[in-house]
Amino acid sequence: DIQMTQSPSTLSASVGDRVTITCRASQSISSWLAWYQQKPGKAPKLLIYKASDLESGVPSRFSGFWSGTEFTLAINSLQPDDFATYYCQQYNNYPWTFGQGTKVEIK
């Protein structure tokens, strides 16, 4: 199985900050990586697919980039609505696997 190591597990930030979350794959997954946002009691919401493509309707302050097997989600100018838990997921190989999640908290 491909392991997705996501860091940090928790991130404390303020409104207006730029934050980054990283996922490292245990082997090559090309660019087949997605990022999701999940709020308590809700289903995850797709933000980024194919490592850097922004899902329709997602604010442009969200962006994704990658190099090799390291993938990054960046949120520019953090907004109150962005405090949530974020997950990465690889879909290059079965079984599809998720990172452990990063909770973005208010500082």
Partner 1 sequence: QLQLQESGPGLVKPSETLSLTCTVSGGSVTSSSHFWGWIRQPPGKGLEWIGSIYYSGNTYYNPSLESRVVISVDTSKNQFSLRLSSVTAADTAVYYCARHGNIVVVPGAKGFDSWGQGTLVTVSS
By the rule CB under 8 A, 64 interacts with partner 1? no
3-class SS of residue 80: helix
> Which two structure tokens, joined as six digits, stand for 49?
């697919």
Contact positions with partner 1 (CB under 8 A) in 20-39 = 32-34, 36
By the rule CB under 8 A, 57 interacts with partner 1? no
Q: Which of 3, 15, 53, 70 binds partner 1 (CB under 8 A)?
A: 53
CA proximity to 99, closest of 90, 91, 62: 90
φ, ψ of residue 55 to 5 degrees: the values are -65, 145
Residues that bind partner 1 (CB under 8 A): 1, 32-34, 36, 42-46, 49-50, 53, 55, 87, 89, 91-92, 94-101
